[in-house]
Amino acid sequence: MDNPATNATIAVGVMNVSGSGGGYQISLTFAADITPGDYDIMAAGDVVGTCNNAAVNPPLFSGTSGTLTIVTHDIPTSTVEGTFNFSGDNGSGATVEITAGSFNLTY
């Protein structure tokens, strides 16, 4: 994604980091109190990654494997920085590879 629109929100102890551009929307969901380190991205785990591509039917790809690395998370200043990559599928045989993702956001 070139120049994606990004944001981070917290609700009920869960943080959602998302970005969109070029017809795609990528979203990562994890605990709001996450600490720096490496985390597995899985379809039903502590870290969930999704990719929505409106050009494919069904459009939602769930992350089946990958890694989220939280570089920094400063709760008092409400900032979070990380990198990620994951593979996903849409349940109908289509797959997606998300590589070299990154974010540095204030929530």
pLDDT average, residue stretch 19-32: 93
Per-residue pLDDT, 104 = 94
**Which one-letter DSSP state was computed for residue 47?**
B
Count of positions (residues) in the chain:
107
Q: Does the pTM exceed 0.85?
A: yes
How far does Cα 43 stand from its chain's mean position? 12
Which residues are CB-neighbours of 12 under 8 A, at least 6 positions away? none
What is the per-residue pLDDT for 4?
63
pLDDT digits (tens, 9 = 90+) for 49-105: 999 998 888 899 999 999 999 999 999 999 999 999 999 999 999 999 999 999 999
- Please state the three-class secondary structure of 26-68 as a single string: EEEEEECCCCCEEEEECCCCCEEEEEEECCCCCCEEEEEEEEE
